[in-house]
Amino acid sequence: RAKEDGRNNYKFYTENMNKRALERLEMENNLRKALEKKELFIVYQPRINLKTSRLVGAEALLRWKQPTLGLVSPVEFIPVAEETGLIHPIGKWILYSACKQAKKWYDNGYSDFKVSVNISAVQFQKEGLVDIVREVLLETQLTPRMLELEITENTIMQNTERTVETIQELKEMGIEISIDDFGTGFSSLSYIKEFDSDNLKIDKSFIRDIGLSASNESIICAIISMAHSLGMSIIAEGVETIEQLEFLEDSDCDEVQGYLFSKPVSPEEFTALLHNRTIPTNPSNTYVG
Contacts with Mg ion in 11-40 (CB under 5 A)? Answer: none
**Burial classification of residue 18, based on how many CB atoms lie within 10 Å of its CB (0-12 exposed, 13-18 middle, 19 or more buried):** exposed
Among 53, 65, 69, 74, contact with ligand C2E (rule: CB under 6 A): 74
Q: Indicate whether 31 belongs to the interface with ligand C2E (CB under 6 A).
A: no
Among 71, 75, 212, 214, contact with ligand C2E (rule: CB under 6 A): 75
Candidates 81-89, 167-175, 193-201, 259-267: pick the segment binding Mg ion (CB under 5 A).
193-201
Q: Which residues contact 184 (CB under 8 A, 6 or more apart)?
A: 152, 153, 154, 203, 205
Contacts with ligand C2E in 245-264 (CB under 6 A)? Answer: 257-259, 264
Among 30, 199, 257, 262, contact with Mg ion (rule: CB under 5 A): 199
Radius of gyration of the chain measured on its C-alpha atoms: 21
Query: Of ligand C2E, Mg ion, none, which one does residue 199 interact with (CB within 5 to 8 Å by kind)?
Result: Mg ion
Q: Indicate whether 57 belongs to the interface with ligand C2E (CB under 6 A).
A: no
For the bound state, the minimum distance from the C-beta of residue 81 to ligand C2E, rounded and expressed in Å, comes to: 8
Among 30, 204, 210, 247, contact with ligand C2E (rule: CB under 6 A): 204
Query: Of ligand C2E, Mg ion, none, which one does residue 61 interact with (CB within 5 to 8 Å by kind)?
Result: ligand C2E
Among 148, 176, 240, 255, contact with ligand C2E (rule: CB under 6 A): 240
What single string gives the DSSP state of each residue in 206-246?
HHHTTTT-HHHHHHHHHHHHHHHHTT-EEEEE---SHHHHH
CA distance linking residue 252 with residue 182, whole number of Å: 17
The one-character DSSP state at 203 is: P
CA distance linking residue 4 with residue 1, whole number of Å: 5
Candidates 54-62, 131-139, 222-230, 245-253: pick the segment binding ligand C2E (CB under 6 A).
54-62
Candidates 153-161, 215-223, 229-237, 267-275: pick the segment binding Mg ion (CB under 5 A).
229-237
Q: Indicate whether 267 belongs to the interface with ligand C2E (CB under 6 A).
A: no
Per the document, the length of the chain is: 289
Among 73, 141, 143, 160, contact with ligand C2E (rule: CB under 6 A): 73
Helix ranges (H only) for the chain are 2-34, 74-84, 87-107, 121-125, 129-140, 153-156, 160-172, 189-193, 204-208, 214-229, 242-250, 267-276
168 — phi, psi (to 5°)? Answer: -60, -45
Q: Indicate whether 199 belongs to the interface with ligand C2E (CB under 6 A).
A: no
C-alpha distance across the termini of the chain, in Å: 48
- The residues that touch Mg ion, with contacts defined as CB under 5 A, are 118, 150, 180-181, 199, 233
